[in-house]
Structure 1
Amino acid sequence: MKIISVAEFYEDKNMPLPDTISREIGHFNVFDVAEVLAIHKRTATMPYNRRAFYKINLIIGRNRAEYADKVIDIEKSALIFSTPKIPYNWIPQDSAQAGNFCIFTEEFMTPSKTGLILEDLPIFKSGGYPVFEVTAEEKDEILTIFKKMIKEMSSNYAYKYDLLRNYIIELIHYGQKLQPTTALYPTHNAGSRVSSLFVELLERQFPIESTRQQLQLRTPKDYADRLAIHVNHLNKVLKEQTGRTTTDLISSRITQEAKILLRQTSWTISEIGYCLGFEEVAHFSNFFRKQTSLSPIAFRA
């Protein structure tokens, strides 16, 4: 699973990269959904990935938001909060899409500038429901905040970024006030969703095609972190869905790849072990023998 950078966000949308991005100040921008789609000239569907920035989105139209353990359907209008730590997939359900959204980096909203720690805010915590259905009246109120953002972005006011931070905070508080009563709940089997996303992450690491390639995810915790769920929950779900533990599923797939590399390449045992996440060849040999009752050398013979 890749992490989409700010630069890649603009590239994907066929938009020029602004010159307002810096490590010290951070980055902020606000968009009109219809205008972005007109430039984009293709579906607004986004793959299941993490983003290296925060995003607050007022979406008007039928959509589906897919997270690791929940799928949320939106029928009319919703306010959505996205954090760099939680991957998600976005699927429009019709062509009539409107609204506004803003993106900002952590550097733009540091505690020294805002007095807030974003990760500590309920709206950005993992395990919650960051999608809130809004009424027509609430939609208009939120649109007003976005209009202020758009107007301020084109101003020459010396403290405009301070004002924009205040507008972000206003949106955050708006969402947190909605949280207790109007959070949307999952409409699909959460266990099945987690299981399928785990398998997708596992399979994305293969095939190994170069001795310079190495598995990025090796342990159950690695996968749980990518899915933004607790490792115990992941293991429980996979046990219920497949009858096997997380470790067993990972080990089985690594063993399958090891057999392919041993039979179909001339790579050394050490190189194969390294690619599969084993720093020491002895660790790889012990793992392979435990899985197959044969040493890598004996299997290759």
Structure 2
Amino acid sequence: MAAFLSVENLYKNIHTDQPAPVLAVTGHFDVLKLEDLHIPQPHPYNRRDYYKISLVTGHSFIHYARQTFEIRESALVFTNPMLPYQWERKSEEQRGYVCVFTEAFFNQFLPIKQYPVFQQPAYAVLPLTSDEADRFESLFLQLKAELQSDYAYKDDFVRTQVLNLIHLAQKMQPAGNPTGVATNATERLATLFTDLLDRQFPIENNDQRLSLHTAASFAEPLGVHVNYLNRAVKEVTNKTTSQWIAEKIILEARYLLTHTSWTITDIAWSLGFEEANHFSAFFKKHTQQTPNQFRKLAPV
């Protein structure tokens, strides 16, 4: 099974005597100083079983499967459990705060994974000016102080403050419709397609297999002609259905090659390929490496 890094493993790398907070609700929440975290370099390219909101100052790079973001000064970074990433520090001095929580902590609100900052890397890394960084730092300090208080309803207060932080960040994003909320039939169809695509992942064991991996296979359960689906997705997202599918398969393939001992044949089958050589050709077309080459060179 493809492993997730757990909250417990995170706390093994914390250099502080301060105990983790105990809240009245199911789910975990904490605010940590970045300086107290011992983060191995290179930072593992992996999935976690928790969400993070990080306020960081210092030169670094964040690597996703197909995108890299550079942080030169300060930035707010949102990471979710499903999207593996690697954090590469470039400057020795790194400071800031990390807000760590599980999805269960927000079970009384809109599902946390539906917020745009946790959906796409393009919305997840928000560069900040010095004044903006100071503003967000004050929010992190308020959260950290509240965790140590004896207020009977502090769990509700903390949740509300985190949502306030998320909304402030989203309001700073460029204008447009990054939320994916459909406003007409074409947008609704594109949203249904991407939701159906996302629900197939992650691949957690080698008995699991993608059942939908072509535009035509998605059109059938969506009840539309494949040509209409292709037009709708291209019009709304500016990417083809084939590009969406390929990117998700490549992202999952990179993860499975790096973090499981499955054979190439097993990975190919799980990702919907009938033959391992077809998967190898597909992978090389999109990454310029064969699966074996990627596996040998991938950071662990």
TM bin (shorter chain): 0.5 to 0.7
Whole-Å separation in 2 of the counterparts to 1:116 and 1:162: 14
Alpha-carbon contact 2:50-2:100 (below 8 Å) kept: yes
Other-structure match for 1:219: 270
Whole-Å separation in 2 of the counterparts to 1:88 and 1:126: 12
Of 34, 50, 61, which aligns to 1:64? 61
Alpha-carbon contact 2:29-2:99 (below 8 Å) kept: yes
Could you say what the CA RMSD is over the residues aligned between the two structures, in angstroms? 3.8
Structure 1: tracts of 5 or more residues without a match: 184-190, 209-213, 223-233, 254-301
Q: TM-score, normalised by structure 2?
A: 0.61
Matched position secondary structure for 1:108: helix
Whole-Å separation in 2 of the counterparts to 1:159 and 1:109: 15
* Distance change in 2, residues 1:203/1:155 (3 Å): closer
Whole-Å separation in 2 of the counterparts to 1:61 and 1:73: 10
Whole-Å separation in 1 of the counterparts to 2:272 and 2:74: 35
Whole-Å separation in 1 of the counterparts to 2:153 and 2:33: 23
| 1:18 and 2:1 matched | no
Q: TM-score, normalised by structure 1?
A: 0.60
Alpha-carbon contact 2:23-2:155 (below 8 Å) kept: no
Whole-Å separation in 2 of the counterparts to 1:125 and 1:197: 16
> Which residues of 2 match residues 126-137 of structure 1 at below 5 A?
126=120, 128-137=122-131
Cα deviation, 1:127-167, whole Å, max 9, x if unaligned, reads 63310100011001100101101111111000111111111
Alpha-carbon contact 1:59-1:100 (below 8 Å) kept: yes
CA shift for structure 1 position 100: 0.8
Structure 2: tracts of 5 or more residues without a match: 179-245, 274-279, 295-300
Alpha-carbon contact 1:195-1:238 (below 8 Å) kept: no
Other-structure match for 1:28: 29
CA shift for structure 1 position 4: 0.7
Cα deviation, 1:87-143, whole Å, max 9, x if unaligned, reads 111111111111111100111111x2xx32212211111463310100011001100
Cα deviation, 1:165-196, whole Å, max 9, x if unaligned, reads 11110111122112227x9xxxxxxx9xx979
Q: Which has the larger radius of gyration?
A: 1
Matched position secondary structure for 1:128: helix
CA shift for structure 1 position 199: 5.7
CA shift for structure 1 position 80: 0.2
- The amino acid of 1:149's aligned partner reads L
- Percent identical pairs in the alignment equals 30
Other-structure match for 1:239: 285
Matched position secondary structure for 1:31: strand
Alpha-carbon contact 1:68-1:197 (below 8 Å) kept: no
CA shift for structure 1 position 18: 3.2
Of 257, 275, 285, which aligns to 1:202? 257
Whole-Å separation in 1 of the counterparts to 2:139 and 2:21: 24
Whole-Å separation in 1 of the counterparts to 2:114 and 2:174: 17
> Which residues of 2 match residues 107-146 of structure 1 at below 5 A?
107-110=104-107, 112=108, 115-126=109-120, 128-146=122-140
* Distance change in 2, residues 1:143/1:19 (3 Å): closer
Other-structure match for 1:174: 168
Whole-Å separation in 2 of the counterparts to 1:27 and 1:202: 30
* Distance change in 2, residues 1:143/1:170 (3 Å): same
Matched position secondary structure for 1:133: strand
